[in-house]
């Protein structure tokens, strides 16, 4: 695990101060996702923070699913969340909990508040409750059902549980202050009637607690000491405190931090779900998605994501992180560990006229210049090879140094070659090039000291493997996809060129045993990960990132 014991931020400073004042205090955090979608990079920040705090201060971190809304939650999401957390490198041990574990206890807590005159059953509709709540500048209005007796409220609440009333006909509300400047304190809903089957409790319940009611009490039941939340819950903290104080139970400390915002993407699970359901992307783990599963499929490593979350830090003020910085972190990580190979995306055939017809040879290639222990491999060379179409120009501009008529270039790990002829079809499309090679330049250097200005990657035509390459770009064309004009919405900012599929890719034969999840650097082209769609008949590669580092350029220009 990453060494972050010396890391400091305002949350760690608060905890260190608390520990100085109370040496016996135990650090107990929790990560509380709602299983209504797949986790995204913003959740990764919260995971790293909550589990990281527990690691740094020798404490514990629970995994607790906030499964209070059966209309949106599925076991599929529960399984995906657990997979993502484990993949990131964190372990909750035996501390896997669910809000649904506490439904009975939460009901008992609600009964206690009713008996104390702090909660009541309300018959107003959802729209009427909104109207009665008031605005930020005007106070709310009390419900006509607010002053029901405790006895009547207890009876009605039990009848709600027993399924006597239809959905939406009644709710249980906290009895606080309809004139409070904090709208969250204006008699918030604690329970609603919802005749839906729950993914864990089945049809046992037809009333379900709201998040605001469930959140604090679940933390208290689990003896959480620090309830780490994002900033949108700051205005909910007085309600959190009020419930805890009225019940007289263990009181965790809630601390809010700024959530992660990332350019060229959205972080709303509702919006991400819409992209999936309306087939704007292939699935939750589409490599263009900001989901952890999508990033994993694209080839991002857990170490890189943890490092990214560590470097962006934890702050109190909202900010937006440039996507280029995330990609910079990914490149730094993959540069150290990715095996180098050669692949040609858009092949152009070259025949080396003076290379012996029946000759084949094996050349030695370095697996990773950043890792001497990675060793070397053998790559085949023959009379006919492929290079990238973009590496040849018939009439090149002055600053084009790659292959052109009469010009000599180096083939990586192989020889100098010179173009002597171009074969075209009747439409003028180049079909193949004829070249000569210098046998004395084997390995890439000329004994007479002459220099060339370009080195090209290549594959042997008789040995290469056919593959599919999926080239991904940003999912949205705007830094802030939510910034729209007129009747537009965020989907109007989708990038129509976010995926380009190339099925003519040719790769060196060492990749014949490549398995899903394997990551490589295709020399001069970028980092690629083997996709799960790979079969025995076809290897599919996702481009994780290009070699061009926009963030490094930004840093240099500052």
188-219 tens-digit pLDDT: 999 999 999 999 999 999 999 999 999 999 99
Residue 171 has pLDDT above 50, yes or no: yes
Q: How many CA atoms lie within 13 A of 151 on its CB side?
A: 0
Q: What is the pLDDT of residue 553?
A: 67
> For residue 557, what pLDDT band results from cuts at 50, 70 and 90?
low
Q: Which residue has the tokens 């003519």?
A: 504
> Which DSSP category does 345 fall into?
S
139 pLDDT exceeds 60?
yes
Distance CA 344, CA 458 (A): 6
Query: What mean pLDDT comes out for the span 158-183?
Result: 98
Indicate if the pLDDT at residue 236 is higher than 70: yes
Are the C-beta atoms of residues 269 and 36 closer than 8 Å to each other? yes
Strand-by-strand arrangement of the 347-352 sheet: 455-456, 408-411, 416-424, 430-438, 347-352, 384-388, 459-460
Looking at the predicted structure, is the pLDDT value of residue 2 above 60? no
pLDDT score for 556:
56
551 pLDDT higher than 90 = no
pLDDT at 5 over 90: no
pLDDT at position 517 over 70:
yes
Write the CB contacts of 374 (distance below 8 Å, at least 6 apart in sequence): 339, 366, 367, 368
Q: What is the DSSP letter of 369?
A: T
Q: What number of other Cβ atoms are within 10 A of residue 360's Cβ?
A: 13
Residue 28 in tokens: 């107990």
Catalytic residues: 34, 259, 269
Map out the domains of the chain with their CATH numbers. Answer: 10-259 (3.40.50.620), 269-339+467-557 (2.40.240.10), 343-457 (2.40.240.10)
- Edge-first strand order for the sheet with 519-522 is 339-341, 519-522, 526-530, 539-545, 465-472, 499-507, 343-344
Q: φ and ψ at 283, to 5 degrees? A: -175, 175
Confidence tier at 1 by pLDDT (50, 70, 90): very low
Q: How confident is the model at residue 485 (pLDDT cuts 50, 70, 90)?
A: confident
Report the predicted TM-score, pTM, of the whole model to 2 decimal places.
Answer: 0.94
Bridge-based pairing of strands 459-460 and 320-321 is unpaired
pLDDT at 539 over 50: yes
What number is the average pLDDT over the span 315-326? Answer: 94
Judged against a pLDDT cut of 90, whether residue 396 lies above it is answered with yes
User: How far apart are the C-alpha atoms of 338 and 341, rounded to whole Å?
Assistant: 9
Residue 425 pLDDT: 97
Mean pLDDT, residues 31-56 taken together:
97
- As a whole-number percent, the residues of the chain with pLDDT over 90 amount to 95
What is the chain's mean pLDDT, rounded?
Answer: 96
Residue 72: is its pLDDT beyond 80?
yes
Whole-number Å distance between alpha carbons of 179 and 176: 9
**Cα→Cα distances 221→37, 233, 243, 428, Å:** 26, 20, 13, 76
Residue 531: which pLDDT band, with cuts at 50, 70 and 90?
very high
pLDDT at residue number 68: 97
Cβ-contact 120, 174 below 8 angstroms: no
What would the pLDDT profile of 422-479 be if each residue is shown by its tens digit? 999 999 999 999 999 999 999 999 999 999 999 999 999 999 999 999 999 999 999 9
pLDDT surpasses 80 at 125: yes
**According to the model, what pLDDT value does residue 325 have?**
97
The 3-state DSSP composition of the chain as helix, strand, coil percent (nearest 5) reads 30, 25, 45
pLDDT of residue 4: 42
**Which pLDDT score is estimated for 484?**
78
Residue 379: pLDDT above 70? yes
Give the E-state strand segments of 194-312 in sequence order.
207-209, 226-230, 253-257, 261-262
pLDDT at 7: 78
| Per-residue pLDDT, 549 | 87
Q: Can you name the residues that pair with 506 across neighbouring β-strands?
A: 344, 466
pLDDT at position 23: 84
Q: What percent of the chain has pLDDT over 70?
A: 98
Nearest one of 555, 546, 553, 471 to 505, comparing CA atoms: 471
Residue of 94, 8, 97 lying closest to 52 (CA atoms): 8
Average confidence (pLDDT) over 533-556: 88
| DSSP H/E element including 155 | helix 150-161
Instruction: Give yes or no for residue 3 having a pLDDT over 50.
Output: no
- What is the rounded average pLDDT of the residues 261-281? 97
Check pLDDT > 70 for residue 558: no
Query: How far is residue 31's CA from residue 91's CA, in Å, rounded to a whole number?
Result: 11
Give the β-pairing of 347-352 and 384-388. Answer: antiparallel
């Amino acid at each position: 695990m990453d060494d972050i014991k010396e890391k400091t931020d305002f949350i760690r400073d608060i905890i260190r101060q608390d520990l100085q004042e109370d040496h016996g205090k135990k650090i107990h955090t929790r990560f509380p996702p709602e299983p209504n979608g797949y986790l995204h990079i913003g959740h990764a920040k919260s995971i790293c923070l909550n589990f990281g705090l527990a690691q740094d201060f020798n404490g514990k971190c629970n995994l607790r699913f906030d499964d209070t809304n059966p209309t949106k939650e599925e076991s599929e999401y529960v399984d995906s969340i657990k997979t993502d957390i484990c993949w990131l490198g964190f372990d909750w041990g035996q501390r896997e909990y669910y809000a649904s574990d506490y439904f009975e206890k939460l009901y008992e807590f609600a009964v206690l508040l009713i008996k104390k005159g702090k909660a009541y059953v309300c018959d107003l509709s959802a729209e009427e409750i909104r109207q009665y709540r008031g605005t930020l500048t005007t106070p709310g209005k009390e419900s006509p059902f607010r002053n029901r007796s405790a006895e009547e409220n207890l009876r009605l609440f039990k009848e709600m549980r027993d399924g006597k009333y239809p959905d939406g006909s009644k709710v249980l509300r906290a009895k606080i202050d309809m004139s409070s400047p904090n709208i969250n304190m204006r008699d918030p809903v604690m329970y609603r009637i919802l005749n839906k089957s729950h993914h864990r409790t089945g049809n046992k319940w037809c009333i379900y607690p709201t998040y605001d009611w469930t959140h604090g009490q679940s933390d208290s039941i689990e003896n959480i000491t620090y309830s780490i939340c994002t900033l949108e819950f700051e205005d909910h903290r007085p309600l959190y405190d009020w419930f805890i104080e009225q019940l007289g139970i263990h009181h965790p400390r809630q601390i809010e931090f700024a959530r992660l915002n990332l350019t060229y993407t959205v972080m709303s699970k509702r919006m991400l779900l819409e992209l999936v359901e309306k087939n704007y992307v292939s699935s939750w783990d589409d490599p263009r998605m900001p989901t952890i599963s999508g990033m994993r499929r694209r080839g991002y490593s857990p170490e890189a994501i943890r490092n990214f979350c560590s470097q962006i830090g934890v702050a109190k003020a909202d900010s937006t992180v440039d996507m280029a910085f995330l990609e910079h972190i990914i490149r730094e990580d993959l540069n150290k560990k990715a095996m180098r190979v050669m692949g040609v995306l858009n092949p152009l055939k070259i025949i080396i006229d003076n290379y012996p017809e029946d000759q084949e040879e094996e050349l030695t290639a370095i697996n990773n210049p950043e890792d001497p222990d990675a060793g070397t491999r053998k790559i085949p060379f023959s009379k006919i090879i492929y290079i990238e179409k973009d590496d040849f120009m018939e009439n090149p501009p002055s600053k084009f140094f790659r292959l052109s008529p009469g010009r000599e270039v180096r083939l990586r790990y192989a020889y100098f070659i010179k173009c002597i002829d171009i074969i075209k079809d009747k439409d003028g499309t180049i079909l193949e090039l004829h070249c000569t090679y210098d046998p004395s330049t084997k390995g890439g250097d000329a004994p007479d000291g002459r220099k060339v200005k370009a080195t090209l990657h290549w594959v042997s035509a008789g040995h290469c493997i056919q593959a599919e390459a999926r080239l991904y770009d940003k999912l949205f064309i705007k830094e802030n996809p939510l910034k729209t004009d007129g009747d537009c919405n965020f989907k109007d900012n989708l990038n129509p060129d976010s995926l380009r599929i190339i099925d003519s890719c040719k790769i060196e034969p060492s990749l014949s045993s490549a398995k899903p999840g394997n990551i490589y650097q295709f020399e001069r082209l970028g980092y690629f990960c083997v996709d799960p769609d790979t079969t025995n008949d076809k290897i599919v590669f996702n481009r994780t990132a290009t070699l061009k580092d926009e963030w490094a350029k930004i840093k240099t220009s500052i």
